[in-house]
C-alpha cells in the first residue's frame, strides 16, 4: 500500500510537468530530475536515520551537520556557477546554522542529542539554502539592472559596497518575504509542519505550538544571517562576473 501511495502521489508531479510544459516555462527537465533526486535522497535518508539518530558523540553529530552544509553549498553553487561561491555559501550557511543552534543549546531549548540536533540542523540548513538562493538571484538581477548607477557612484568616489547598498537591501528584503508570509499565516491559514508532526506523534498541543514558534523565529534569524553573510562575502565576485 505504501508503494501504491507513492506512485499515486507522483501523479501530482506529472500534472505539474504538464502545466509547466503547457505554459512554456522550459524547466520541465529540472522539475522531473529534482523530483527523482528528492525521492532517491529521502529513501536513502530513511535508512541512514536509523543509524544517524544513534550517534551519541558530539563530534559525530557535528560532522553530520557539516556534511549537510556542504551539500547545501554545492546546490547554491549550482544555481550561479560563479568561482568562489561554494566557499562563501559554505561560510554563510554554516554561520547561519551554528549561530542559530548554539544559543538554543546554551539555553536548554534544544538538547544535545542526535534526535534533536540532526533534524533541527537539517531544517536550518535547508532554510538557509533557500534564503541564500533567493538573495543571490535577486542580487544578481539588481546588479544587472543597476550596473550603470553603481559604476557612476564608484566613479564619484563611493566604495563598491556603498554603491551597491540599494541592491543589498532589496535582495535581503526579497529573501525574507517567504519567512514573513509564513509567520503571518501560521496558526490562521495552516498548521506548520513540525507542529503537525508532533501532534500526530501524540505530543501536547501547547508544547507542539511553542516548539513550532521557536523554529519559526530560528528560520527567520538563520535566513537573514545566511543571506547577509553570503552577499557581503561574494558581492565583488558577482559584480566582476556580471
Cα 213 → chain centroid: 18
Judgement on whether residues 72 and 128 belong to the same structural domain of the protein: yes
* Full residue range of the structural domain in which residue 204 is found: 57-241
Q: In which band, very low, low, confident or very high, does the pLDDT at 96 lie, cut at 50, 70 and 90?
A: very high
pLDDT at 107 over 80: yes
Residues 43 and 87 in one domain: no
Q: How many Cβ atoms from other residues are within 10 Å of residue 230's Cβ?
A: 28
Mean pLDDT, residues 182-196: 64
Q: Tell me, yes or no, whether 147 and 95 share the same domain.
A: yes
132 with 153: CB under 8 angstroms? no
- Report whether pLDDT(181) > 90: no
Is 47 in the same domain as 61? no
Same structural domain, 152 and 74: yes
Same domain? For 38 and 78 the reply is no
Q: Are residues 119 and 231 located together in one domain of the fold?
A: yes
Task: Note the pLDDT of residue 39.
Answer: 83
Interval 210-228: pLDDT, tens: 777 888 888 889 989 999 9
Pair 103, 12 in one domain: no
What is the tally of structural domains in the chain? 2
- Residue 69 CB neighbour total at 10 angstroms: 26
Nearest to 76 by CA among 148, 13, 132, 10: 132
pLDDT tens column, 17-63: 898 888 887 888 888 888 888 888 888 877 887 788 788 888 888 89
**7 and 99 together in one domain:** no
Whether 235 contacts 175, CB under 8 Å: no
Amino acid at each position: 500500500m505504501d508503494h501504491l501511495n507513492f506512485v499515486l502521489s507522483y501523479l501530482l508531479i506529472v500534472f505539474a510537468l504538464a502545466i509547466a510544459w503547457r505554459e512554456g516555462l522550459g524547466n520541465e527537465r529540472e522539475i522531473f530530475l529534482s523530483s527523482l533526486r528528492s525521492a532517491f535522497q529521502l529513501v536513502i535518508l530513511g535508512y541512514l536515520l536509523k543509524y544517524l539518530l544513534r550517534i551519541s558523540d558530539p563530534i559525530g553529530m557535528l560532522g553530520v551537520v557539516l556534511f549537510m552544509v556542504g551539500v547545501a553549498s554545492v546546490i547554491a553553487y549550482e544555481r550561479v556557477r560563479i568561482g568562489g561561491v561554494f566557499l562563501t555559501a559554505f561560510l554563510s550557511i554554516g554561520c547561519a546554522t551554528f549561530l542559530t543552534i548554539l544559543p538554543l543549546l546554551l539555553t536548554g531549548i534544544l538538547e544535545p542529542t542526535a534526535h534533536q540536533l540532526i533534524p533541527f540542523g537539517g531544517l536550518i540548513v535547508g532554510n538557509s539554502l533557500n534564503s541564500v538562493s533567493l538573495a543571490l538571484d535577486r542580487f544578481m538581477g539588481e546588479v544587472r539592472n543597476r550596473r550603470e548607477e553603481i559604476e557612476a557612484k564608484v566613479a564619484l568616489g563611493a566604495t563598491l559596497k556603498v554603491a551597491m547598498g540599494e541592491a543589498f537591501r532589496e535582495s535581503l528584503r526579497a529573501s525574507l518575504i517567504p519567512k514573513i508570509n509564513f509567520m503571518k499565516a501560521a496558526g490562521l491559514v495552516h498548521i506548520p509542519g513540525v507542529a503537525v508532526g508532533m501532534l500526530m506523534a501524540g505530543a501536547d498541543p501547547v508544547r507542539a505550538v511553542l516548539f513550532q514558534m521557536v523554529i519559526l523565529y530560528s528560520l527567520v534569524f538563520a535566513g537573514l544571517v545566511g543571506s547577509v553573510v553570503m552577499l557581503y562575502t561574494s558581492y565583488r565576485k558577482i559584480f566582476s562576473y556580471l
